[in-house]
Amino acid sequence: MTPAARVAGAIEVLADLIERRRPAPDALKDWGLARRFAGSKDRAAIASLVYDALRRRASSAWVMEGETPRALMIGMLALQRGLDGEAIAALFSGERFAPEALSVDERARLARAAQLDAAPLAAACDCPEWLLPSFMRAFGPALRDEMRALTARAPLDVRVNSLKSDRRTVREALAHLGPENTPLSPFGLRFPVGEDGRGPALQAEPEFLDGWFEIQDEGSQLVSVLSGVVPGSRVVDLCAGAGGKTLALAALMDNSGEIVATDVDARRLVASHARLQRSGATNVTVRTPRGRYDPRRPDPLADLAGTVDLVLVDAPCTGSGTWRRNPDAKWRLRPGGLAERCRDQAVVLDRAASLARPGGRIAYITCSVLPEENDDAIAAFGQRHRGFTLLPAAEVAAAAGFPELAQWATPGGGILLTPHRTGTDAFFIAVMRRAP
């Protein structure tokens, strides 16, 4: 496919996902199945165009004075790809398989791309307008810089599994893929991302198959360390999902102590079994629930009540901190969805409180930047459970060996990493200790 034909294909995908309000991966998959002539490179290029258009959906709509799939694509090529009017016109030529030629009005509107600072705040920040008050609470004067960082492409990071190897060895083994050490995490490597937005196929590398490393954003690696886990502990990973943080904890504990990994949804745990086997982690037990957890029924972890040194709560959330990777998610989020996540977080925190031993800790983590899911959730927990104390951000950061992260303390006392601040996905963490 020519570059222009790929642009036309991306416009078709955008039309489908906007009209049917469906996730981008589903729309892309259906488009590819219906057009077998498109090769893997074509599909990757079209996916990259679609995701970039979703990253800049609001600003592109402002520039082009419309929110049609065509308008979003034209605006994105100017704002995200940095193409000038002539370069965009070459793609929109109206020739065979290319989109219809640019109109006089469309050419004129492209001039607004240089005037984005004059756009309404939600458009300039590329976010849903109803969430602006939350983002303003989170970021204050740095709002525009923080939100623009959330529209960039994310890097590809891995965590070296210290149970089987070390960073120098893995870096040398994967030297042909150009890795660099992550700036903050001592266990991380970062790989360059190509023009199509994809990194190398790391899961096909022998070292991955042997369990030397796992794909994990540097921010996720950092909050695992900030949890304060120590070797020999009894740990419960209450929202373990596919097991990314469970594996990180097992390595930090050097396979000592005990980790119980569980989730409210058994389906989320399926992928964890193969990952655990590959990693060499031997101190992890996976407890698969029968049906979803219901606080009105006896807790299947009741035998651990009051005995756990660290309860890790990687809470269900809106995922606003991962919008670089999932830009379509921000346009599908609705107030009711945020309210539901906040209710879920309260339930899981209350469950964690029953598990922590006297003197034990809860590490509350989200991949969200929204105060409702972060500071507000912790403040509400403190009101419901007076026997827990929020540890100061400076203490949490220093104990983990990252005192510089204390500068990113939130007003409510947690720590918030973001793409703009730390070059990572956005993660919030707060650590609370139960009274002895």
Residue 313's H or E segment, with its range, is strand 308-314
Angle (CA) 147 153 157, round 5° = 115
Beta strands in 38-175 (DSSP E): 156-160
Query: Helix, strand or coil for residue 422?
Result: helix
In whole angstroms, what is the distance from residue 54 CA to residue 126 CA? 9
The order of strands in the sheet holding 180-181 is 180-181, 188-191, 156-160, 213-215
Q: Distance between alpha carbon 174 and the CA centroid of its chain, in Å?
A: 25
Contact partners, residue 15, CB within 8 Å, separation at least 6: 69
Check if the beta carbon of residue 43 is closer than 8 Å to that of residue 35. no
Q: Is 367 a catalytic residue?
A: yes
- Other C-beta atoms closer than 10 Å to the C-beta of 435 total 9
Check if the beta carbon of residue 196 is closer than 8 Å to that of residue 285. no
Residue type, 350: D
- What phi and psi values does residue 361 have, to the nearest 5 degrees? -125, 155
Handedness of CA 166, 169, 172, 175 (dihedral sign): negative
Strand 356-366 relative to strand 188-191, pairing: unpaired
Exposure b/e, 310-341, CB count within 10 A at least 16 = b: bbbbbbbbbbbbbbbebbbbbbebeeeebeeb
Check if the beta carbon of residue 360 is closer than 8 Å to that of residue 309. yes
Residue 157 in marked binding region? no
Residue 294 in marked binding region? no
In whole angstroms, what is the distance from residue 296 CA to residue 293 CA? 9
Of residues 127, 239, 342, 367, which has the active-site annotation?
A: 367
- Token pair in block for residue 216: 């994990």
Of 355, 95, 405, 124, nearest in space to 236 by CA: 355
- Other C-beta atoms closer than 10 Å to the C-beta of 137 total 18
| Residues paired with 223 in a beta bridge | none
- Token pair in block for residue 289: 């629930």
State the greatest distance between any 2 C-alpha atoms of the chain, in Å, as a whole number.
Answer: 74
- Token pair in block for residue 28: 């892309």
Active site residues: 367
